[in-house]
């Protein structure tokens, strides 16, 4: 469904991705792991057309060359960036409304789904998003993205800075999302949730993929873990 071939990306003159190759298939949760600075977020930004890139990026058989972020989103790719991305002066409900697909279009998700999955957001539906905790804003960003009914959601370090109990919850939400047929590209540094919920794990090092296999095979591969993941 998403096919990435020989992807290079640049910030000005700085060449950050050096030939990234991988695929995400329908209904899969794929973890993109790696240390700080390995290029995981840049890969997400390239898919969304937010950095200069070269190579080939195909989504459902269509090239993403030249596409802007909103166009990629319209094609069904949801993106939850590292920086929690809420409208701080709007309420939770208004934030969700802004994520909604065009009127009259059917969607996998509605307000009730979001409020059932995240009761905390229901309690706070009339609260301004900007006063909520980081974890709550993260949930809201995820929900707003889901309201646009993506077929793939790219989520960048959703568990960063969250308490272990909440990290577990994030894993459960991602499984629920997958159960509705949405693919997930989960960018993470921590192995725990990634290993528990992923169908496949990718490891990135110095701007390319150094491992692509099942979580079990990554667990068994001490060399890759030592060289590219553990600190």
Ligand X SMILES: Nc1ncnc2c1ncn2[C@@H]1O[C@H](COP(=O)(O)OP(=O)(O)OP(=O)(O)O)[C@@H](O)[C@H]1O
In the bound state, the residue with its beta carbon closest to Mg ion is 41
Selected range binding Mg ion among 5-13, 40-48, 125-133, 202-210, rule: CB under 5 A: 40-48
Residue 157 Cβ vs Mg ion, minimum distance, rounded to whole Å: 6
Query: Measured from the CB atom, is 119 or 231 closer to ligand X?
Result: 231
Q: Which does 159 bind (CB under 5 to 8 A by kind): ligand X, Mg ion, none?
A: none
- Note whether 229 and 203 are within 8 A (CB): yes
Q: How far apart are CA 213 and CA 188, in angstroms?
A: 16
DSSP string, 173-194: HHHHHHHTT-EEEEEES-HHHH
Q: Which does 78 bind (CB under 5 to 8 A by kind): ligand X, Mg ion, none?
A: none
Residue 92 Cβ vs ligand X, minimum distance, rounded to whole Å: 27
* Residues 6+ away with beta carbon under 8 Å from 28: 178, 183, 184, 199, 200
Q: How far apart are CA 95 and CA 97, in angstroms?
A: 5
Query: Measured from the CB atom, is 41 or 141 closer to ligand X?
Result: 41
Q: Which residues bind ligand X (CB under 6 A)?
A: 11, 14, 16, 34, 36-42
Main-chain phi, psi angles of 60, to 5 degrees: 50, 45
Which residue's entry shows tokens 């030939």? Answer: 19
Q: Does 41 bind Mg ion (CB under 5 A)?
A: yes
Binding positions for Mg ion, rule: CB under 5 A: 41
């Amino acid at each position: 469904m998403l096919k990435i071939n020989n992807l290079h990306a640049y910030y000005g003159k700085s060449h950050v991705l050096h030939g990234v190759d991988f695929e995400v298939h329908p209904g899969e949760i794929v973890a993109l792991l790696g240390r700080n600075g390995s290029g995981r977020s840049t890969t997400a930004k390239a898919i969304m057309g937010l950095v200069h890139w070269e190579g080939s990026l195909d989504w459902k058989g269509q090239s993403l060359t030249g596409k802007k972020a909103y166009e990629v989103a319209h094609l069904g790719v949801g993106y939850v960036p590292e920086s929690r991305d809420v409208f701080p002066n709007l309420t939770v409900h208004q934030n969700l409304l802004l994520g909604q697909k065009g009127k009259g279009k059917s969607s996998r998700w509605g307000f009730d789904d979001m409020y059932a999955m995240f009761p905390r957001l229901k309690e706070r539906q009339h609260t301004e998003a900007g006063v909520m905790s980081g974890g709550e804003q993260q949930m809201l960003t995820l929900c707003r993205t889901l309201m646009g009914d993506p077929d793939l959601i790219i989520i960048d370090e959703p568990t960063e800075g969250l308490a272990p109990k909440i990290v577990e919850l994030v894993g459960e939400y991602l499984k629920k999302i997958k159960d509705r047929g949405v693919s997930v590209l989960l960018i993470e540094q921590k192995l725990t949730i990634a290993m528990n919920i992923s169908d496949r794990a990718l490891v990135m090092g110095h701007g390319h993929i150094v491992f692509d296999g099942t979580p079990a095979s990554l667990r068994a591969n001490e060399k890759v873990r030592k060289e590219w993941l553990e600190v």
